[in-house]
Amino acid sequence: MGRITLEGVAKRFGDVEVIPPLNLDIEDGEFVVFVGPSGCGKSTLLRLIAGLEDVSDGRILIDGKDATDESPAKRGLAMVFQSYALYPHMSVRKNIAFPMKMAGMDQAEQDRRIEAAAKALNLTNYLDRKPGQLSGGQRQRVAIGRAIVREPSAFLFDEPLSNLDAALRVGMRLEISELHNRLKTTMIYVTHDQVEAMTMADKIVVLHAGRIEQVGSPLELYLRPKNAFVAAFIGSPKMNLFTGAAAAEYGATTIGVRPEHIAISPTAGKWQGRVGVSEHLGSDSFFYVEDTGLAETITVRSDGEVNMHHGDTVWLTPTEDKIHKFDANGDRIQ
Amino acid sequence: MARAVSRNTRIGWTIAAWVVALIIFFPILYTIITSLKSEQEAISGFNLIPSFTLQSYETVQSQNNYFRPFMNSVILAVGSTLLALIVAIPAAWAMAFSPTRRTKDILMWMLSTKMMPAVAVLVPIYLIFLRTGLMDTRIGLTVLLMLINLPIVIWMLYTYFREIPGEILEAARMDGATLRDEILYILTPMAVPGIASTMLLNIILAWNEAFWTIQLTTTNAAPLSAFIASFSSPQGLFWAKLSAASTMAIAPILILGWFSQKQLVRGLTFGAVK
Amino acid sequence: MATRQTASLARLMRAPAIILLLIWMAVPLAMTLYYSFLNYNLLNPAGTSWAGWFNYQYFYTDPAFFASIWNTLVLVLGVLFITVVGGIAIAILIDKPIFGQGIVRILVISPFFVMPPVAALIWKNMIMHPSYGVFADIAKFFGAAPVDWFAQYPLFSIILIVAWQWLPFATLILLTSLQSLDGEQMEAAEMDGAPAYSRFLYLVLPHMARAITVVILIQTIFLLGIYAEILVTTNGGPGTASTNLTFLIYRAARLNFDIGGAAAGGIIAVILTNIVAVFLMRAVGKNLD
């Protein structure tokens, strides 16, 4: 079981309010991603749940029990840290065994779980090495192994992939997703990378300046961002935002069109511009169109076979029903 | 820098460096050589090949009872270091792992006590020792040396402890470790190298201390630094004897010192140069 | 709660060290300050009386006091000059690709581990003795008359000994700093056509500036308190030719039993040291964050 409920949880450091009171429900077995730009309070929120920081206000319930004043150890949660936080003086085996040793588990059961975790994580051949002798990806797996063996009610991940190189990151992302499918345990995952959030999450919590901007499934956030911040944050490349006359035409202060919802044509269309940089990835082509008079550049995503080059004059046409409209406060106009 | 250097250039630099190093080391080398000469040899001109007699070492031991100051040095250096560690480990620990807004000020203030010139407190300390019967006692000097080096010990430990990443302690806490487990299984094994280095440097400093040991001892508690200082007024032929006593006084610390080069930089610059 | 408990435990853990150092700093210093206003001589303790500023006045009118301040200054600056210039040169030399670098390092730092009385006695008797020292042997070899160093150049002789002791310290710290210099930066400068001397002037020296400052400040603190080297070589003489402030105060307290006078001298020493200490603390404090 791993149902976590935050009721009016707030955090202040001295006079600085990093997290204003917020409410959040995390269902059992859910994969929840906290995402937001750096300094948005997502890690602090995770540490409040972990018990590594004391809340200034509010209550944290784990499986319906008030855990606000409980020590981290007693909350039954396991955490994977950004720096992996492996114990450098212990072998991989001892690292993984540590939480079980602390729990006073009998040796046979410890060994059984270590073997199982090592097998699942491809660590069997490394059990007697020290963390210093492992690669980044292997260390990450040890950290996960250390978390798994406790059979916690929820896993907490604090930007676990940010120290890995790009190729490894994609692989580990899949492994963590598979792990979730297999264990069906609640996972809370903090990242600043919206791609990780979109690919892994059942539910995404977008945070900005300590406030929750929107909670929803990846698709919900993509299709119906509640405000301009979420609209700009979710999706890659970023949504194009226009203000002024272009927006007024739709009765909004700001409008947003995703790059994939703009058609590009060499002959005719709604807005005229000139191709600046173009990126041809094969599967897709990205064009950064300048001199439209609407925004500095407009990003357009189109089919990989569309071939246009620097300096070409082009016409852009947004897909009308995919235009997002926001009012003066940045909130979505329905 | 990994750069291609011609062999000749390298040999040139090597010769220059070795010449400089040998000149700097020469007084120590010559003392060791002289300690292996007879008194007659020692004063009969420059000579690098001794007759390898241990006579001077025997004389120093039999005439001056070298063993007593040697033991005093060991007791003072090790004793004051252990005492300092007992006080400093918890303090450095607390400042490294639970820093408050005033931690930096406290550290700076501790450092400032190290800046106090010894002569400034010579009078009161001398009088206190005289009146309380601490004069020429090992215990009095041990406590004094502990106080003198305490700031350096705290600082060094603090810089070492700070290098232990906080996330590891949090990980242990998440893994269900109590404060006791945390100290026993995580922090102590990780802190031991730093504590050992600190200990090493402090033993060196305490061993070589030569102001208070000379002021506050006569015979009973005099360590080697005070004992050797008493050789300043020579009687008769004593070059070889002096060399033997000097060699014995510096040999243990010289060897310890060679092992502590890195820590020396950190300890003596209060972490300002690493 | 967990973290609040830690905070109060931390206070408890800090307390013994803070209290000990507080006592160690405040009590003797207060006593020194008090004594400095007394007419107090251990030979005549019954005649103790309030002296006001007399002890300070006495120091101020004593020619030995100014001689000792001057000697302190010469000693500190002389040693600093030798060790910093020599230290930079030797550090650069050791940093070159040489054979046996480890052993060279060990040889060079060794003098630092020699306790002051031993260092002084070795130099006094083995090296600089007018009839049996190595310098005398060298002079005789060239047919020159040996120099009686401690009689003729007492302060210079002491500077030489102290510089020998501290040269390793300067070298070691400057070497550490030198080794942290970015190799690519030097290579970039070389690619840009900067000759060796301008690489030294514009890259190496600025990089070492901080380490040099630290060396100067820390050495100054220790050099102001030089004592044993003087005691076992010249005993401050001839006359006051090699008496520094520390030695002058030691003499007042221990040889003349003038407690009040020595205390006043101690306070003056505190003031002088603190002027240096302020700068040191700033340099160190900057590195704390």
Q: Where are the domains of chain C?
A: 62-257
Counting residues of chain B whose pLDDT is more than 70, the rounded percentage is 95
B20-60 tens-digit pLDDT: 999 999 999 999 999 998 888 877 778 888 888 888 888 88
Q: Which residue has the tokens 């918890």?
A: B90
Residue A57 has pLDDT above 60, yes or no: yes
What mean pLDDT do residues C2-11 have?
A: 71
Q: Which residue has the tokens 């470790």?
A: B177
Residues of B in contact with A83 (CB under 8 A): 165, 167
Q: Is A83 on the interface with B (CB under 8 A)?
A: yes
Q: Alpha-carbon distance C90 to C215, whole Å? A: 15
Q: Which of A140-154, B179-193, C247-261 has the highest mean pLDDT?
A: A140-154
Q: Is A212 on the interface with B (CB under 8 A)?
A: no
Distance from CA of B260 to the nearest CA of C (A): 10
Residue C78 has pLDDT above 80, yes or no: yes
A239-283 tens-digit pLDDT: 999 888 888 888 889 999 999 999 998 888 888 999 999 898 888
Residues of C in contact with A52 (CB under 8 A): 3
Confidence of residue B1 (pLDDT cuts 50, 70, 90): very low
Q: Alpha-carbon distance B195 to B88, whole Å? A: 10
Beta bridge mates, B145: none
- In this structure, are residues A325 and A318 in contact, taking their beta carbons and an 8 Å threshold? no
Best to test chain C binding among B269, B270, B274 (most C CBs inside 10 Å): B269
Taking all residues of chain C, what is their mean pLDDT, rounded to a whole number? 86
Q: Note the helical H segments in A15-68.
A: 42-50
Q: Alpha-carbon distance C57 to A11, whole Å? A: 62
Give the pLDDT of residue C1: 38
Distance from CA of C251 to the nearest CA of A (A): 54
Q: Decide: helix, strand or coil at residue B117.
A: coil
Name the CATH code of domain C62-257 (choices 1.10.8.80, 1.10.3720.10, 3.60.40.10, 1.20.1260.10). 1.10.3720.10
Q: Is A163 on the interface with B (CB under 8 A)?
A: no
Q: Is A66 on the interface with C (CB under 8 A)?
A: no
Please compute, for residue C18, the number of CA atoms within 13 A of its CA located in the half-sphere on the CB side.
18
B238-263 tens-digit pLDDT: 788 888 889 998 999 998 888 877 77
DSSP state, residue B108 = H
Residue C81 has pLDDT above 90, yes or no: yes
- In this structure, are residues A33 and A203 in contact, taking their beta carbons and an 8 Å threshold? yes
- Residue of chain B with shortest Cα separation from C94: B17
Q: Is A71 on the interface with C (CB under 8 A)?
A: yes
Best to test chain B binding among C43, C105, C125 (most B CBs inside 10 Å): C125
Q: Which chains pack against B, by 3+ Cβ pairs within 8 A?
A: A, C
Give the pLDDT of residue B4: 59
- In this structure, are residues A21 and A9 in contact, taking their beta carbons and an 8 Å threshold? yes
- Quick check: B232 and C280 CB within 8 A? no
- Quick check: C108 and B24 CB within 8 A? yes
A96-149 tens-digit pLDDT: 999 999 888 899 999 999 999 998 888 999 999 999 899 888 998 999 999 999
Give the pLDDT of residue C262: 87
What mean pLDDT do residues A49-58 have?
A: 90
Q: How many whole angstroms from its chain centre is CA A49?
A: 17
Q: Which residue has the tokens 């030294």?
A: C200
Give the pLDDT of residue B81: 95
Range of weakest confidence among B1-5, B99-103, C266-270, C274-278:
B1-5
Confidence of residue C287 (pLDDT cuts 50, 70, 90): low
Distance from CA of A144 to the nearest CA of C (A): 25
Counting residues of chain B whose pLDDT is more than 90, the rounded percentage is 24
Confidence of residue C114 (pLDDT cuts 50, 70, 90): very high
DSSP state, residue A29 = T
Residue B233 has pLDDT above 80, yes or no: no
Domain ranges of chain B: 67-232+251-268
Cα C27–Cα C32–Cα C38 angle in degrees, nearest 5: 130
Range of weakest confidence among A57-71, A108-122, C202-216:
C202-216
- Quick check: A51 and C4 CB within 8 A? no
- Which run of H or of E encompasses C214? helix C205-223
Confidence of residue B5 (pLDDT cuts 50, 70, 90): low
Strand A154-158 to A77-80 pairing: parallel
Q: Which chains pack against C, by 3+ Cβ pairs within 8 A?
A: A, B
Strand A271-280 to A284-290 pairing: antiparallel
Q: Which one, of B157, B163, B169, B165, lies nearest residue B107 by Cα?
A: B157
Residue C2 has pLDDT above 70, yes or no: no
Q: Is A243 on the interface with B (CB under 8 A)?
A: no
Give the pair of three-digit tokens for residue C150.
């401690």
Q: Which DSSP string do the residues of B54-82 spell out, in sequence order?
A: -HHHHHHHHHH-THHHHHHHHHHHHHHHH
Residues of C in contact with A71 (CB under 8 A): 2
Q: Which chains pack against A, by 3+ Cβ pairs within 8 A?
A: B, C
Best to test chain C binding among B23, B38, B46, B122 (most C CBs inside 10 Å): B122
Residue B143 has pLDDT above 70, yes or no: yes
Q: Is the backbone peptide bond immediately before A237 cis, with ω within 30 degrees of 0?
A: yes
Q: Is A78 on the interface with B (CB under 8 A)?
A: yes
- Residue of chain C with shortest Cα separation from B258: C106
Q: Note the helical H segments in B65-137.
A: 67-97, 103-114, 122-132
Q: Is the backbone peptide bond immediately before C238 cis, with ω within 30 degrees of 0?
A: yes
Confidence of residue B235 (pLDDT cuts 50, 70, 90): low
- Quick check: B165 and A103 CB within 8 A? no
Residue B237 has pLDDT above 70, yes or no: no
Residue C167 has pLDDT above 50, yes or no: yes
Q: Alpha-carbon distance C178 to C207, whole Å? A: 8
Give the pLDDT of residue B272: 65
- Quick check: C4 and A54 CB within 8 A? yes
Phi, psi (deg, nearest 5) at residue A25: -115, 130
Q: Alpha-carbon distance B92 to A81, whole Å? A: 25
From the list C93, C177, C253, the residue facing B13 with the nearest CB is: C93
From the list C13, C131, C269, the residue facing B91 with the nearest CB is: C13
- Which run of H or of E encompasses A206? strand A203-208
Give the pLDDT of residue B2: 45
Residues of A in contact with B165 (CB under 8 A): 83, 85
Q: Alpha-carbon distance A185 to A148, whole Å? A: 10
Distance from CA of C6 to the nearest CA of B (A): 7
- Quick check: A87 and B172 CB within 8 A? yes
- Domains observed in chain A: 4-230 (3.40.50.300), 237-326 (2.40.50.140)
What is the topology classification, in CATH, of domain B67-232+251-268? MetI-like fold (1.10.3720)
Residues of A in contact with C3 (CB under 8 A): 52-54
